[in-house]
């Protein structure tokens, strides 16, 4: 059986969809599973256990008729038997109908029943991985949603081992920090957790646990922040993973992950690393599973900058 899943969104959305793909493969071991994803999200499948091929399509923009028709042709040529769609766009539903795929499953919305063979309601208030997993009910699969899980390539594990040696933390645990600006829900400017607050958190941790290394994850999105933190806390170690697999391997060895809402957060959850996440306005119950390993602090104002360092440290030390 050949299965196609259409999964709009970024890397975090793909990781939240992994349990659905894993359960689908468990129910149909011989199935070949392909995905249609946006270019920004394709790297997620470096750590996927079950996906065969990736088809790129930008769901976020208004695609030209030629781009839409090209996707239609690609899907037709591969002769899928089942399609799962996270889209709630009538044009994608129409495209799937035109492909001739026998079983087409998606969320119930206006017009969906015209083009889809099976629809399921989307329960927006529940954990997003559960929302995605509900699509399998359209295939008669009613199992409980499994936990997030990823498969880290061996070469990325080897890179992380070398990186820890370079940082001088190969024989100890460590705390990882990741923070990058996110769009504020109450303003037009990017919302970032302040350097001053991160500095206070890092310094308190270093004072209490001087032998526990603290490592900041550097990326293009947070280069200025990490540079500022390195200047204010000279003992801070910096790691710059080159791909998602390397990042996952680095996270896997951490004792604790402190981060803002991000793709990095979902990797830590999939790796069962103790994680404390700072949220601006999104509901943590939709993005974190109910598990004592994964804690959240949500801003009362919708701005990350209004979460105090003291509130974070209280969670860290269990005060």
Q: What is the pTM of this model?
A: 0.94
Each residue of 93-148: pLDDT tens digit? 999 999 999 999 999 988 788 999 999 999 999 999 999 999 999 999 999 999 99
Across the chain, what does the average pLDDT equal? 93
pLDDT at 190: 59
**Mean local confidence (pLDDT), 236-262:** 97
Same fold, 2-139 and 154-317: yes
Domain boundaries, given as residue ranges, for the chain? 2-139, 154-317
CATH of domain 154-317: 3.40.50.2000
Residue 186 pLDDT > 90: no
Each residue of 68-91: pLDDT tens digit? 999 999 999 999 999 999 999 899
Each residue of 22-69: pLDDT tens digit? 999 999 999 999 999 999 999 999 999 899 999 999 998 888 889 999
| Four-point Cα dihedral 263, 267, 272, 277, nearest 10 | -20
Pick the CATH number of 2-139 from 3.40.50.1860, 3.50.50.60, 3.40.50.2000, 3.40.50.720: 3.40.50.2000
Residue 189 pLDDT > 60: no
């Amino acid at each position: 059986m050949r299965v196609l899943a259409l999964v709009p969104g970024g890397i975090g959305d793909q990781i939240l969809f992994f349990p659905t793909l894993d359960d689908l493969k468990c129910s149909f071991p011989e199935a070949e599973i392909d995905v249609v994803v946006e270019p920004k999200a394709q790297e997620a499948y470096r750590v996927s256990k079950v996906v065969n091929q990736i088809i790129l399509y930008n769901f976020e923009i208004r695609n030209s008729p030629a781009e839409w028709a090209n996707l239609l042709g690609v899907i037709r040529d591969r002769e899928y038997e089942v399609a799962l769609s996270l889209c709630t766009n009538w044009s994608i539903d129409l495209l799937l109908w035109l492909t001739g795929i026998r079983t087409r499953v998606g969320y119930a919305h206006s017009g969906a029943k015209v083009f889809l063979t099976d629809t399921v309601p989307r329960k927006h208030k529940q954990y997003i991985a559960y929302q995605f997993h509900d699509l399998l009910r359209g295939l008669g699969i009613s199992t409980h949603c499994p936990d997030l899980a990823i498969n880290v390539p061996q070469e990325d594990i080897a890179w992380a081992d070398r990186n820890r040696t370079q940082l001088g933390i190969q024989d100890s645990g460590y705390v990882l920090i990741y923070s990058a600006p996110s769009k504020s829900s109450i303003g037009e400017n990017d919302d970032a957790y302040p350097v001053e607050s991160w500095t206070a958190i890092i310094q308190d941790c270093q004072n209490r646990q001087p032998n526990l290394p603290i490592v900041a994850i550097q990326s293009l999105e947070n280069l200025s922040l990490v540079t500022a933190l390195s200047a204010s806390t000279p003992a801070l170690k910096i790691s710059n993973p080159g791909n998602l697999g390397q990042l996952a391997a680095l996270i896997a060895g951490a004792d604790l992950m402190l981060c803002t809402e991000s793709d990095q957060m979902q990797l830590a959850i999939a790796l069962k690393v103790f994680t404390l996440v700072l949220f601006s306005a999104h509901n943590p119950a939709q993005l974190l599973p109910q598990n004592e390993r994964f804690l959240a602090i949500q801003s009362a104002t919708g701005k990350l900058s209004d979460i105090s360092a003291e509130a974070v440290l209280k969670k860290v030390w269990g005060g």
